[in-house]
Amino acid sequence: MKLSRRLMMAAALSTALFAGNAYAANVKIALVVKSLGNGFFDAAAKGAEKAAKELGDVDVIYTGPTKATAEAQIEVINTLIAQKVDAIAISANDGDALVPVLKKAMERGITVISWDSGVAAAGRQMHLNPSDTGLIGETIIKLAADYLPDGGEVAILSAASTATNQNAWIEAAKKILPEKFPKIKLVATVYGDDDSAKSTDEAKGLLKTYPNLKAIIAPTTVGVVAAAQVVTDAGLIGKVNVTGLALPSEFKKFIDNGSSQAVALWNPIDLGYSAIYLAHDIAVKKMEAKPGAKLSIGSVGEVTLDDTNSAAMAPPFTFDKKNIEEFSKIY
């Protein structure tokens, strides 16, 4: 009896060693998103699972609140701290409000990184941007300007008013507007909170308040769908062009029906993959997040951290009539 138990233990041990796992439990990494039910984050979660499979010793906890608010994310993070996860990779609804709770997580030995929408430097070890912020800001204006040779009024329908990523892109867009797109007049910026109903109301409000509006720019995959649906339902196809950042699988129908000429985005699967990969390698101390560090991200490649420990991935990609069909099958 004793012998066979010892044999069984030896067998279990060699299996663990063979798996490269040396007794240790898997690395538990929480992929915390702005809100659940958002197709963009579901695509990122697919990438997260892909990374977990390749790394072989990761359990991904895909989680987030139902509403895209900082308060709701704080609750989620407190639960993850109590659960003793090894790492948190978060897309933040507010870069400052989350700092205290994320500091608490780091004090307890949890690795914290932000991705997509950043946390202020004090609340994370590194931040991964999907692309260069200035380039995204310019892209969202250009997408509208390309179809407005005579210029005209445009408005922005954003996500939450506290969202780090959208606020940075809008700021960058406003900066280059006068110099590069002097004929484009930005008349308003409104916030749909990455909530379909609120985004719909805000888009309707824009059309009512600005009868000469030529384009709605929504740098959010939730807002852009809502705006295109509103323009379609209002019979304004051809009068108001909807553009911004859109997930091809959700947005193809609006390129098809002409309510939008073109939109842009990056690969959300690669983004989620990278977030898990980096959180893992920092958590297991394979690499250290410090200015100038070159961090390798499996099949995605490599990024270099700047002096705020932030890095950016690839340039945004434009989707229009010619290619949206192909990309709609991927994400």
Residue 38, interface with ligand RAM (CB under 6 A)? Answer: yes
Who's near 235: CB < 8 A, 6+ residues apart? none
Give whichever of 220 and 241 is closer to ligand RAM, judged by the CB atom: 220
Who's near 192: CB < 8 A, 6+ residues apart? 157, 158, 159, 198, 199, 200, 201, 202, 203, 218, 220, 222, 223, 226
Give whichever of 27 and 276 is closer to ligand RAM, judged by the CB atom: 276
Give whichever of 86 and 116 is closer to ligand RAM, judged by the CB atom: 116
Give whichever of 210 and 327 is closer to ligand RAM, judged by the CB atom: 327
Is residue 159 within 8 A of residue 192, CB to CB? The reply is: yes
Site for ligand RAM in 106-165 (CB under 6 A): 116-117, 159, 165
Give whichever of 73 and 91 is closer to ligand RAM, judged by the CB atom: 91
Give the C-alpha separation, 94 to 126, whole Å: 16
For ligand RAM, which stretch binds (CB under 6 A), given 22-30, 53-61, 217-225, 251-259?
217-225
One-character DSSP codes across 281-331: HHHTTSS---TT-EEEEGGGEEEE--TTSEEE-PPPEEEETTTHHHHHTT-
For ligand RAM, which stretch binds (CB under 6 A), given 3-11, 75-83, 219-227, 291-299?
219-227
The DSSP element (H or E) to which 249 belongs, if any, is helix 248-256
Pairing of strands 262-265, 213-218: unpaired
x/- letters, 233..272, toward ligand RAM (CB under 6 A): ------------x---------------------------
Residue 273, interface with ligand RAM (CB under 6 A)? Answer: no
Binding site for ligand RAM (CB under 6 A): 34, 38, 40, 91, 116-117, 159, 165, 194, 220-222, 245
